[in-house]
Chains A and B, each alone.
Chain A
């Protein structure tokens, strides 16, 4: 089955700096890669996704890049704000197989 790994497990950045979270996957057949944000006490919420037919997608301060050859994809958050602090999960395939999560702390 699909195996998703995610790095780093924790990340602290100064407000205004960029944050990058990286994931790798094992199943070359995977072709859909969503990113979820989980705030304290809440369920995961989809923030951006990418399909295998594109290499990059951007939505305001959030962007995702995909390298199918290397089987890795990354989440980029620019101009981070305190409200970006949360746990971020990458996922692969259609059953939403989650990575282990990255806890992002944005220091004001």
Chain B
């Protein structure tokens, strides 16, 4: 069964450094998402992406964040200058379409720790 994959599984970085989290969505999916989950808290929507542009973003997704689909298979989340509060689990998801009720398939997540 096709699945969303994410790399790395864990990343430790110094405050102020740039990090890039990578995701490979399911191959025929067209819509891509990033979510984050701070330890012990709910999963929060960050951004959705379609047709090579951001379709929606939350207030968490400020100028420090960017997303890119550099080729036909990868979808990346970049944090330009990490802060301590960026420490969280980051989940990528993809869906075939964006109609209400279209299932989003989640990757296993990348655990980011900012020191």
The answer to whether A and B come from one shared complex is: yes
Binding site for B on A (CB under 8 A): 31-32, 34, 36, 41-46, 49, 51, 89, 93-101
Nearest Cβ distance between residue B96 and chain A, in whole angstroms? 13
Given contacts A44-B43, A44-B91, A89-B43, contact A96 B104 (CB under 8 A): yes
Nearest Cβ distance between residue B20 and chain A, in whole angstroms? 19
B19-63 with Cβ < 8 A to chain A? 33, 35, 41-45, 48, 56
Q: Offer 10 A-B interface pairs, CB within 8 angstroms, sorted by A.
A: A43-B93, A43-B106, A44-B43, A46-B103, A89-B43, A94-B99, A94-B102, A96-B45, A100-B41, A101-B42
Given contacts A49-B101, A94-B100, contact A43 B42 (CB under 8 A): no
* A93-B106 in contact (CB<8A): no
A95 to B108, CA, bound (A): 19
Binding site for A on B (CB under 8 A): 4, 33, 35, 41-45, 48, 56, 91, 93, 98-109
A95 to B101, CA, bound (A): 10
Chain B residue contacts of A31, Cβ below 8 A:
100
Chain B CB within 10 Å, residue with most, of A31, A41, A99? A41
* A95-B56 in contact (CB<8A): yes
* A98-B101 in contact (CB<8A): no
A100 to B42, CA, bound (A): 4
Given contacts A42-B108, A46-B103, A51-B101, contact A95 B43 (CB under 8 A): no
* A97-B45 in contact (CB<8A): yes
* B42-A45 in contact (CB<8A): no
Chain B residue contacts of A98, Cβ below 8 A:
42-44
Chain A residue contacts of B91, Cβ below 8 A:
43-44
Chain A residue contacts of B43, Cβ below 8 A:
44, 89, 96, 98, 101
* Beta-carbon nearest neighbor of B43 in chain A: A98
Chain B residue contacts of A49, Cβ below 8 A:
101, 103
* A43-B101 in contact (CB<8A): no
A99 to B101, CA, bound (A): 17
A96 to B103, CA, bound (A): 10
* Beta-carbon nearest neighbor of A38 in chain B: B43
